[in-house]
Amino acid sequence: MRLLLKLAPKDFSKVKEMKKASKLGIPYIKMAHFERSGVVEYLEDLSRTDEHYFRVYESSDCWGFENIGATMASHLPPLFAGSYKGIESEERNWNAVETKCIGLGDPYCEFKVVPGEIDELKDSLEKDASVIERIHDRLMDRLLGFLLDGKPPVERPRLGSDVQLHAVWHAMGSALSSERYRMAQRMGGAKSGKEVGERLMDAGLNEDGAIKRVIDFMNYCKVGKITLVETIRLEGNCESLCMKFFTPKPEEPSCYFTTGFLNGLFSAVKNQHVRETRCIAAGDPYCEWEIA
């Protein structure tokens, strides 16, 4: 990475400089493919000085949300803009906005990156309640398709069926920023776990069967290796590893979303609650929850 940054242009205004950077995989073209967040291509013919266009195939943000009625990408466009701001020798405030999106019915996603303000950016980030409901319903349909019928939640021709967790990982790493954000993580997890549990019970599963299917899903997503005996144990937990990587060592267990999700699930299925007693981020070898 240090070598690539040395070779990178120190000014990204001109098309020829952006083309050179793109061939090197900068700022994130190679990493986007590696982490399965998308296959990125620089659109040289469409770009011009201080206005650059990129096309993303199989975007992890947007795949599966065809014709949802809104742009969906929240990971790669701002990541590219932030990278230019960080790499350039003269700092400029770069911004990015999607111009095409699978969510709008396009066959792929495209975004433009420019230094300075983008008039249409604010409107593209605002989503009305009906769009949020459609996104939620699509997510639940795919999740229940896996839990009840074993269908892969995502199936991309080149990038496969792995669930991409990189953007989620970064969101979890911000949990220590404020108590309000930690509360949002806990409440979001609890709401999700409760709804999943209720839907599985409504589908006719018994209590142990519902819990087992969710654990199988968590293992499939590679959030860590989870086992359930008298306690819930999660080795290699992506949430706590992220916390350990990005923040000072917390003094207490800090898997806010996972704890909320497990609490919501167990309360809906078994009328039980969980409490995290061990956490990788706090120095333990694994994360563990008591069930009561």
Structure tokens at 158: 């080149």
In a domain, 138, yes or no: no
Tell me, yes or no, whether 223 lies in a domain. Answer: yes
Q: Does residue 174 carry a pLDDT above 80?
A: no
Residue 153 lies in a domain: no
| Pair (170, 287) in one structural domain | yes
Q: Can you give the CATH number for the domain in which 225 is found?
A: 3.30.1380.20
Ramachandran angles phi, psi of 155, nearest 5°:
-145, 100
Q: Given 108, 125, 142, which residue is the final one in a domain?
A: 125
Q: Note whether 104 and 183 are same-domain residues.
A: no
With residues binned 3-state (H G I as helix, E B as strand, rest as coil), the percentages for the chain, rounded to 5, are 45, 15, 35
Instruction: Check whether residue 287 and residue 182 sit in a common domain.
Output: yes
Note whether residue 244 is domain-resident: yes
Instruction: Give how many domains the chain has, as a whole number.
Output: 2
Question: Do 182 and 100 belong together in one domain?
Answer: no
* Same structural domain, 112 and 227: no
Instruction: Check whether residue 273 and residue 181 sit in a common domain.
Output: yes
* Structural domain includes residue 148: no
| Token pair for 241 | 């590893």
Q: What domain range includes position 32? A: 2-125
Domain shared by 115 and 18, yes or no? yes
Give the pLDDT confidence of 93-149 residue by residue, as tens digits: 999 999 999 999 999 999 999 999 999 999 888 989 999 999 999 999 999 999 999
Is 152 a domain residue? Answer: no
**Which pLDDT tens digit goes with each residue over 156-172?**
999 998 888 877 877 77
Percent of the chain with pLDDT strictly greater than 90: 66
- Round to whole Å and give the CA distance between 290 and 117: 50
Q: What is the percent of the chain with per-residue pLDDT over 70, rounded to a whole number?
A: 94
Q: Considering 125, 142, 177, which residue would you say is the last residue of a domain? A: 125
pLDDT exceeds cutoff 90 at 266: yes
Domain identity same for 118 and 185? no
Structure tokens at 182: 């930690």
Would you call 34 exposed, middle or buried from its count of C-beta atoms within 10 A (0-12, 13-18, 19+)?
exposed
Residue 17 CA to residue 137 CA, distance in Å, equals 43
Specify the range with the lowest mean pLDDT, choosing from 79-83, 100-104, 202-206, 259-263.
Answer: 79-83
Domain contains 204 = yes
